Amino acid sequence: MNDSKVTRIGVLTSGGDSPGMNAAVRAVVRTGLFHGLEVYGIMRGYSGMVEDDIFKMESRSVANIIQRGGTVLKTARCKEFFEYEGRKKAYENLKKRGINGLVVIGGDGSFNGALKFSQEFDIPCIGLPGTIDKDIAGTDFTIGFDTAVNTAVEAIDKIRDTADAHDRLFIIEVMGRDAGYIALHSGIATGAEHILIPERKTDIDAVVSSLQEKEKRKKLVNLIVVAEGDEFGGGEEVAKHVKAKLPNVDTRVCILGHIQRGGSPTCLDRLIASRMGYHAVESLMTNRYNVMVGIQNNKMHYTPLENAVKAKQKINEEWMKIVKILAS
C-alpha cells in the first residue's frame, strides 16, 4: 500500500440509502477541511466515479443536511464498476484531480467494490457501515438502523391500536431480505407474539398452534412481525398459511416497505454517523487503510475490509430466548 500522505479525499454513498448518511458526509467533509485536506463529493456512488460526476466540497456544501434523510450525494448501482475497465476509468477520474484517499459509505457490496478498487489501483479506502439492516460484523450499530427500527416501532404501535379495536391478527412485514434485526428489535419493542426472521427456520405449524391456544384463552389481538426475507416469502405468504389453518381468525397484512428507509435520522444515528465520519478521515491521515470504521462497546473498532465483506452480524441467541419468554 502506498504510504504517501493523503491530501485529497473523495466521499461517496453507495447501495441502499439509509438515514444518517448525510451526517456522515458532513463529518467527513468538515473533518477533512479542518485538517487542511481537499474534499470531493462523488455523485451516485461508483457511477459518479466512472462517469466523472465529481465536485469539490466546501464547509457550506454540507450546511443544513445533518437532519435530512436520504443522501445529498445520491446513490445508484453501477454495473460498469464490476468490470476492470470501469474501475480503471474511475481511477483515472480520481487521479486527474489528485484524489488519493476514499471514504465509502454503504454496505458489504459497497465495501467489496472499495476493496477490489484499492487493491488494483493503490487508493486507500475507508468504509463506513451505512445500512438499515445492521448486518455487518464489526460494529454494534450501522448508520440508519436506529431510525429504521424506530419508524417500524411507531407504525406497529399504531397498527396495534386497530388490532385491539377489531380483535384482529395483524401480520406486519418489515424490511430485512437477508437480516432479521429490524424485525427482531421492532417486534420485541412492540410486544409482538411472534417474530419471523431469515436467520431462523420458521416452524409455521408451531405459530398456528400458538395462535389456536391464544384463541382458546380469548386472546384475540395478536401481532406477528416478519422480515421480508423470511423463508415463507414475507407477510403475504405467512398470512395465506395462517388463514388456511385458522379461517375464523380475522387476519390482516401490513407491509411497511420503504418508509423504513427514509425520514429524519434519530439522535443516535446522527451521533454515530458523525463519530464514524470523523474517524474515517483520522484513519486516512494516520495511514490506517482499507478498514471499516465501526463502534463496539462505545469504542471505535476497525475491521479490515476483507473481513467486513465476508462476515455477517449474527443474531444473539439470548434475543431469541427473550422473544419466546416475553411472548408467552
- Which residues line the annotated binding site? 16, 26-30, 77-78, 107-110, 131-133, 160, 168, 175-177, 191-193, 217, 219-221, 228, 252, 258-261
Distance of CA 250 to the CA centre of its chain: 34
State the residue for C-alpha cell 462517469: 51
Residues annotated as binding site for ADP?
A: 26-30, 160, 191-193, 217, 219-221
Cell of 303: 475491521
Residues annotated as binding site for ATP?
A: 16, 77-78, 107-110
Q: Known catalytic residue: 133?
A: yes
**Whether the Cβ atoms of residue 151 and residue 121 lie closer than 8 Å to each other:** no
Strand, helix or coil for residue 121 = helix
Cell of 278: 470523523
**Whether the Cβ atoms of residue 113 and residue 83 lie closer than 8 Å to each other:** no
Q: Which amino acid is at 238?
A: V
**Whether the Cβ atoms of residue 105 and residue 29 lie closer than 8 Å to each other:** no
β pairing state of 8-13 and 38-42: parallel
Report d(CA 50, CA 113) in Å as an integer: 13
Give me the half-sphere count of Cα atoms (radius 13 Å) on the Cβ side of residue 22: 19
Catalytic residue selected from 17, 133, 135, 230? 133
β pairing state of 299-304 and 291-296: antiparallel
Report d(CA 2, CA 233) in Å as an integer: 47
DSSP result, 262-275: -SPPPHHHHHHHHH
State the residue for C-alpha cell 448508520: 143
Report d(CA 14, CA 109) in Å as an integer: 9
Residues annotated as binding site for Mg(2+)?
A: 108
Which helix (H) or strand (E) is 280 found in, with range?
A: helix 267-285
**Whether the Cβ atoms of residue 125 and residue 118 lie closer than 8 Å to each other:** yes
Report, as residue numbers or ranges, the catalytic residues.
133
